[in-house]
Each structure stands twice: as structure tokens, then as C-alpha cells.
Amino acid sequence: MLYLIDYLPQLLIVAGVVTLVIEVAILGFSTFIFSFVGLALLATGLAMSLGWLDINVKSALWSVLVLTLGFAVVLWKPLKQWQNKPVSQQTASDFAQLSFVLEQPVDKDSEQVFYAYSGVQWKLKSEQSLSKGQRVKVVKTQVGVMWIEAQSD
């Protein structure tokens, strides 16, 4: 046991790094508790290495407890907002190459304009007004909806 206490700062730093690696690599940063404990273990080990804290188990336990609570209070809200930020990325689909000639006029509010493609009746919508006979291309798709725009030749 004395052997472990002689290397307590290093053990705390290693335990902190391992805890953070588990949080990020295995849990995918989904639970913040391991992050707070890992940061507290790292900070406590560093403080002991620099001589700011006495090297004993009692100091280590209290320091890890207080720092874990401190990190939780300070970092919970920013990390939660960062985690819940929606990711919006446009993905190219097979429909991106599709172009055709309109049989009816289409605009943003069109509800009764459809296009049959691949056995599905797709509702057509557009951010701009498009007239009958105009060549259009698909720019994005949603469930049952093709968003189109005028094709520039």
C-alpha cells in the first residue's frame, strides 16, 4: 500500500486519462460524469505533483470530490448545449441528378402537384414559382417530397 501512496500523483493522472479515454472513445461523450471525474483526477494529480496538495489519500479523495462537483457545476450547461446542437448537413442523394419537365406549375405552397418516379408519387415543392413546361432538377428530398428548382442549361 505504501508503494501506491508513493506514486499517488502519477496514479491519479493515469486514472484521469484512462477515465477520459473511456468517456470519449467508448461512451462517445454521452455521459458527462466520467468527464468530470477524469478532469478532477487529472487536476488533483497535477496539484499533488506541483506540491499544491499534500500527497495522501484523504487529500486526494476530498480534492477529487470537490473538483468533480466544481467541474459539473461549471461545465454541465455548456456541454449539454454543445451535445444537443443539431447537425445539419446536406447529403447528396441519387435524386440530385434527376431532371424533368414540369407538367403543372409549382411553388412553395403547392400541395397537389406530383411526379411519379421509381414507383412513388412524389409531391413537388419549390422555393420559387416554376411554370408548366419548365425543365427542373431535384435539389433535395424529404419523406415523399421532392424540392426542385429551375435547371440552368
**CATH 1.20.1050.10 describes domain 94-150:** no
Helix 8-21 crosses helix 57-84 at what angle (to 10 degrees)? Answer: 20
Domain spans, the chain = 2-84, 94-150
Q: Which of 140, 100, 153, 92 is nearest to 126 (CA)?
A: 140
Condensed to tens digits (0 to 9), the pLDDT of residues 66-114 reads 999 999 999 989 888 887 877 666 555 566 678 888 888 888 777 888 8
- Evaluated on CA atoms 49, 51, 55, 58, the torsion sign reads negative
Q: Which of the four pLDDT bands, split at 50, 70 and 90, describes residue 53?
A: very high
**Phi/psi at 46 (5° precision):** -65, -45
Q: Which of 62, 34, 29 is nearest to 48 (CA)?
A: 62
Residue 23 has pLDDT above 80, yes or no: yes
Long-range contacts of 128-132 (CB under 8 A, 24+ apart): 129/105, 130/102, 130/105, 130/106, 131/102, 131/105, 132/102, 132/103, 132/104, 132/105
pTM of model > 0.85: no
C-alpha cell at 114: 406530383
Q: What's the rounded Cα separation, in Å, for the pair 153 and 150?
A: 9
User: Mean pLDDT throughout 54-61?
Assistant: 93
